[in-house]
Amino acid sequence: MTLATCKQALVGLLADDQNKVIALSGKWGTGKSHLWRDVQKESADEVITRAVYVSLFGLGSVSELKLKIAQSVLPTLQEGGAVATAVANTVSGVKKILKGFSSGFSALDDLALIVAPMMIKDRFIVIDDIERKHEKLSIDEILGFIDDCVQNLGCRILLVLNSDQLADKKFWELFREKVIDQELRLDTSPEEAFDIAAQLTPTAWAQHIKPAVEACGISNIRVIRKVIRVVNSLLSNREELSADILSRVIPSTTLLSAINYKALEDGPDFDFVLNFDGYRMALTRAVIGKTPQTAPEDNLHAKWRLLLDRLGVRGTDDFEQLVVDYLRSGMMQSTAVSKVIDRYQVEGRALVARQRAEDFFEHCWWRPELTEEQLVGELNSILPDVGVLDAFSATSLHDQALKLAGGAEVGRELVDGWIAEFRRRHDAADSPRLDPDSNYFRRPVHPDIAAAIRAEQAKQQANVTVLDVCRKVRVDRGWGSGEEALMRSVTAAEYEAAIRGVVGKDLRLLLLQSMDFLKSRTTYEAHFGDAMSKFLDACRSIVRQEPNSRLSAVIRELFKDSGRESDLQPAAANGQAAGAAGAAGA
């Protein structure tokens, strides 16, 4: 039963004195102890409010259990009270008698065992963590203790048990048969569990975490608190995030945290989530279909896909990898997380801005009832986000603004705003490199915007190195006009300086990719001119100047492995060798 229903039922059972032993069972972390504390706090029965709580965790004997109960009761005894007086008199008398047998028999722990029945009498005792008792503590001993408390000392007992962690089911069956009068099973709902967890671990994002917890079916309060802490850490000081961004990052964070803390039964693993692409997976399934061999795995993956669909996760990227890294290592890459979230914000702003721009143009054409003043007002609403639009859209908005009465000023602000945002993003290095050939359809671009783009292109080209070109070709499998311009203008001396100026991975990348240029000369000549010859001249120069250096040895080995060792000879020698080979062939 749910937490609310179980609480009501427990209150009813406690009100009936005939229920001497009550059992409260349920899965670990679902709030059984929390439920008891709530009932105890709200009870008007003094016996319930003065109840003694004891855990069996690690206890190996009934003596240890009695001692633990006595230690819990002693601090609560009122000075001068009947029980306190009786205990004091008993302790004093026992000390006098037993000191004759053993001078060491005066410890409080030993005496507590003797007076324990007096302190336990007529009390309500809560015994928790039964399944975590020490193996030395037998079932018969526990049953005997409970029976003695109930039959001889007038006690009532509440047994609390984590049923999913009970290794020996016969153990619990014996309790049911021998001592338990009534049993309640708590099945806390994810909604109830989250409400408790959020009280214990507050969060600014409760309204977004709660639906994700419910979608995952997590009812373990301890796990939910851990999920909340993960979200709080990832989004620290980001309370300004929009609902769209929160809906993007919180569901996947909740799922990955649940996976990490083993809160999902037959749930997905990290790899499935990190490689999840809903559209691609659907397309793959449609093309390949099922086979008898893949059917079991397909069924499991289908279950996982449904879970991600309930969460609203359509795909994953760098953000989820950062979450997994944090869960595995405990180390937060705050800067990287912030950059990804900032990118989401820019993308979200871009979607809204594009929609507003489309609405504006549609209104210009098909809403004649709108005044030009109202249309200028729409342009003003676009102005704060114009920088996330492309250059062509910003230009079109400017041109349309000039056609409206009073629109010239806002048109100028649109252009200036776009340029300011463009420069800021490039200064912050959070925008991709520009490709001057990207305007395939020759759409108009405002002259000031075009000038800003050209200035950025010139700055980027001035900073490009031969190593940058090699890295871009190897990693991106492509290049732009800036890379072409550099390679066409590079000299042998500059290539040699580039080789001498790097070490380690950079040297390996530079030499291997340059050798690929040389071996595929016909492929690259149309774009890079005679850069391959400059590379060859640079390598010959290094080998000639310092034939015994380790760098020369690396270059020789590179050319040897590529079957081009003879290319390192001077150009004249290469020509003579080729002529001799031709004469011999004749």
Asked if residues 131 and 167 have their Cβ atoms less than 8 Å apart, the reply is yes
Structure confidence at residue 460 as a pLDDT band (50, 70, 90): low
**138 & 238 share domain:** no
Write out the residue range of the structural domain in which residue 272 sits. 192-332
**314 & 216 share domain:** yes
For the segment 93-99, the average pLDDT, to the nearest whole number, is 42
Q: Among 411, 430, 460, where does a domain finish?
A: 460
**456 & 493 share domain:** no
pLDDT beyond 90 at 440: no
Please list the alpha-helical segments (H only) found in 99-220: 108-120, 139-153, 169-178, 190-200, 206-216
pLDDT beyond 90 at 486: no
DSSP secondary-structure letter at 163? G
H or E segment and range at residue 455 = helix 447-463
Structure confidence at residue 483 as a pLDDT band (50, 70, 90): confident
**What pLDDT is stored for residue 301 in this prediction?**
85
Mean per-residue pLDDT over the chain, rounded: 82
Tell me which residue has tokens 């109840």.
Answer: 51
**10 & 154 share domain:** yes
SS3 581: helix
Q: What share of the chain is helix, strand, coil (3-state, %, to 5)?
A: 70, 5, 25
**pLDDT one-digit tens code per residue, 522-563:** 889 989 999 999 999 999 999 999 999 999 999 999 999 999
For the segment 12-26, the average pLDDT, to the nearest whole number, is 89
**17 & 160 share domain:** yes
pLDDT beyond 60 at 300: yes
Assess if residue 517 is contained within a domain. Answer: yes
Report the percentage of the chain scoring pLDDT > 70: 81
**11 & 154 share domain:** yes
**pLDDT one-digit tens code per residue, 380-432:** 999 999 998 888 889 999 999 999 999 999 999 999 999 998 888 765 444 43
Assess if residue 175 is contained within a domain. Answer: yes
Asked if residues 25 and 163 have their Cβ atoms less than 8 Å apart, the reply is yes
Q: Which residues make Cβ contacts (< 8 Å) with residue 36, sequence separation at least 6? A: 10, 24, 53, 126, 158, 160
pLDDT beyond 90 at 217: yes
Assess if residue 469 is contained within a domain. Answer: yes
**What pLDDT is stored for residue 92 in this prediction?**
44
What span, in angstroms and rounded, lies between the C-alpha atoms of 315 and 363? 34
Determine how many CB atoms are found less than 10 A away from the CB of residue 191.
14
Structure confidence at residue 498 as a pLDDT band (50, 70, 90): very high
Low-confidence winner among 18-22, 77-81, 464-468 (lowest mean pLDDT): 77-81
**What pLDDT is stored for residue 286 in this prediction?**
41
pTM to 2 decimal places: 0.58
pLDDT beyond 50 at 237: yes
Asked if residues 484 and 469 have their Cβ atoms less than 8 Å apart, the reply is no
- Alpha carbon dihedral 54, 60, 62, 64, in 10-degree steps, equals -60
The count of domains in the chain is 4
**201 & 175 share domain:** no
For the segment 436-456, the average pLDDT, to the nearest whole number, is 75
For the segment 72-80, the average pLDDT, to the nearest whole number, is 60
Assess if residue 221 is contained within a domain. Answer: yes
For the segment 265-293, the average pLDDT, to the nearest whole number, is 64
**What pLDDT is stored for residue 176 in this prediction?**
72
**What pLDDT is stored for residue 430 in this prediction?**
46
Q: Among 426, 445, 460, where does a domain finish?
A: 460
**315 & 385 share domain:** no
Q: Which residues make Cβ contacts (< 8 Å) with residue 145, sequence separation at least 6? A: 62, 65, 66
**24 & 151 share domain:** yes
Of 251, 170, 266, 159, give the one whose Cα is nearest residue 208. Answer: 251
384 versus 2: which is more confidently predicted?
Answer: 384
**172 & 299 share domain:** no
pLDDT beyond 60 at 279: no
Q: How many CA atoms lie within 13 A of 569 on its CB side?
A: 10
**34 & 133 share domain:** yes
Q: Among 332, 364, 380, where does a domain finish?
A: 332
**84 & 205 share domain:** no
